[in-house]
Each structure stands twice: as structure tokens, then as C-alpha cells.
Amino acid sequence: MSIVVQVENLQKSYGTKTAVADVSFAVERGEIFGILGRNGAGKTTTVETLAGLRRADAGSLSVLGIDPRKDPQAIRAVLGVQLQEARLPAKITVIEALELFASFYPDPADPEVLIGMLGLTEHRGKQFAKLSGGLKQRLSIALALVGNPQVAVLDELTTGLDPQARRDVWDLVERVRDSGVTIILVTHFMDEAERLCDRLVVIDEGRVVAAGSPKELIRGGSDERTFRMRLPESTADPIDLIESLTDVHTVAIVDDEVEVTGTTHVLPAVILALAEAGVVPDEIRTMTRTLEDVFVDVTGHPAEEELAA
């Protein structure tokens, strides 16, 4: 895998406000790379600096070997940006917007091909102001791709969309990645990052606090498993029955269920021990961690909380 984007020790302040304190990451060709964090964590500043739209105070940045500080013009030829809330004239139609943006690039994509790829064919003559939120987002992705970029930055793509429109946009992002474009996805939605990103960084208060694939982050380097079970009321001392097993780490009663943590073999070990004692659980639920649990662990904040500006 080759590295197409490299950010090392990026710093950026606005006056006395530090937006990015220390951010480093590398993006590999052909992946969907996520930048995940609460509102105000420094995500947009990071990608805008990368795109040459803002100037870094310190650190090194490279997109396909180009330094956005030295050559913002060249960056525009290889990096497409879809920033939060596309601002377009109300009356411009889908096809007009794409043709206009295509005219800014020396080697643009064919607007008709993008219209087909992004499912906009039947909306091509519609005015921007009359598009639904989902269609506006599809158009803004098309606009990010019109310069035929090798890397596309998609910032808070699905904010304000209904669940079906979000899923449609996710499918689209995967199709764009499959067409060969490397994607940097900026989001504060944990489910979006978990579903779409091959790898990601979690940014909090301007710093990277976790990095890896969603699976690696969720496993967190630990193989501990947790499950809960409901046992027949007649079961005598369920804790005594289980806690001495070598695969078991902890046993607790939580809301009239028995919660057990332990090794990767904890579930069969416990079931076997119970069976030997003649006990058959009424119900068993394995507890899976999500990226949201990881986020709370690494940042110490609930996911939806905003940073004070």
C-alpha cells in the first residue's frame, strides 16, 4: 500500500484559540480514512489546511508529494473537497453546477458520467434550491469529484439526512472508493465511521487520541469478551458456580441478569460448567462494543457533546 496523504505534527491556531494542537496520520491509496471527533475537535481545520485553504502554523503536510503550503494550486488538481453545506446559487441546476465546476479544471471528469454514477440523472435539470438534503449531498460529492481528483475530502456528509438518505450516501461513498478515489471522511457520527472507514483517527481537542481500523479500536488490543445470561430462578449461587473457572475474569448480577467477562473461551466454558451442574440458561446475550464505546473510553466524553469554543 502506498501512502498518498501524510500529516505530521500539524498545529493551527486562530488567534489565541488552538484548533489543532498536534495531529499526525497517514492515508493509504484506495482507502476510506476517517477523521472522527466531536464538533469543534479540529477536524475541519485539519482537512482545510491539507487542502491548502488554510495555512498551517507548524508541522508537515503532503498530498501525493505536494506540500499544500508551497503549492496550493497543485493540490487543487489532485485533491477534491466537499465541505460542509455546499453554497451554490439557488437557481443553478444540477447539470449547470457540474459543468461550471468542470470548467475550472484542466482535465475534468465528464459531468454526465458523474450524474449517472451519483444517481442524479432524473434530477439533472432541477434547481439547487429545490433539491432535497440527500440530493444536495449527492451533488456536493459530484462537485468534489469533478476535477478527477485522486483524493476526495468529504466533510460531515450526512448531517441532517434521514436514515434512508444516509444509507444511500454511504453506499455512494463506497462506490466512489471502489472507483479508485482515496477518501478522507470527516464525521462526528460513530456509526458512520464504523460502517465506512477502513482506518481512522479519533481527534479530541486538537489531538489524535486513537488510531486504527474500527475493528482494532473496538477490540482495543484486548481479547476480553462479555456476555449476559438469565438463569432459571431455582439456580443456587450462580456466582459461586462460575467465578472459579479459569476463563472467567469477573461475574456480577446486573438487572437480574448474570454478566460475565473473560477470555475468548469464556462463553463455552461457562455453558459447560452450568450444564455439568444441571443448569440451562433461559437466555444468553453477547455484549459487543461499538466505536461509540471506544470514543467514550479514549476521550472521556459522550459522543454527542460539543466542545466549548
Ligand X SMILES: Nc1ncnc2c1ncn2[C@@H]1O[C@H](COP(=O)(O)OP(=O)(O)OP(=O)(O)O)[C@@H](O)[C@H]1O
Residues that bind ligand X (CB under 6 A): 14, 17, 19, 37, 39-45, 156, 307, 309
Q: Are 227 and 260 in contact (CB under 8 A)?
A: yes
Instruction: Tell me the closest approach of the beta carbon of residue 47 to ligand X, in angstroms.
Output: 8
Handedness of CA 261, 266, 267, 272 (dihedral sign): negative
Nearer to ligand X, 43 or 136 (CB): 43
Instruction: Tell me the closest approach of the beta carbon of residue 87 to ligand X, in angstroms.
Output: 15
Q: Are 11 and 56 in contact (CB under 8 A)?
A: yes
Cα distance between residue 5 and residue 32, in whole Å = 12
Q: Which residues contact 259 (CB under 8 A, 6 or more apart)?
A: 226, 227, 228, 250, 251, 252, 253, 287
Nearer to ligand X, 208 or 242 (CB): 208
Instruction: Tell me the closest approach of the beta carbon of residue 230 to ligand X, in angstroms.
Output: 42
Instruction: Tell me the closest approach of the beta carbon of residue 308 to ligand X, in angstroms.
Output: 8
The total of other beta-carbon atoms located within 10 Å of residue 3's CB is: 12
Instruction: Tell me the closest approach of the beta carbon of residue 14 to ligand X, in angstroms.
Output: 3
Instruction: Tell me the closest approach of the beta carbon of residue 154 to ligand X, in angstroms.
Output: 13
Nearer to ligand X, 41 or 131 (CB): 41
Nearer to ligand X, 19 or 146 (CB): 19
Nearer to ligand X, 58 or 287 (CB): 58
Q: Find the helix or strand (DSSP H, E) in which 79 lies.
A: strand 79-82
Instruction: Tell me the closest approach of the beta carbon of residue 193 to ligand X, in angstroms.
Output: 13
Length of the chain: 309
CA-to-CA separations, 231 to 37, 241, 277, in angstroms, rounded:
40, 12, 12
Nearer to ligand X, 14 or 104 (CB): 14
Cα distance between residue 138 and residue 169, in whole Å = 7
DSSP string, 127-172: BGGGS-HHHHHHHHHHHHHTT--SEEEEESTTTT--HHHHHHHHHH
Instruction: Tell me the closest approach of the beta carbon of residue 32 to ligand X, in angstroms.
Output: 18
Nearer to ligand X, 55 or 130 (CB): 55
Pick the closest to residue 34 from 307, 289, 216, 165 (CA basis).
216
Nearer to ligand X, 53 or 271 (CB): 53
Cα distance between residue 10 and residue 181, in whole Å = 24
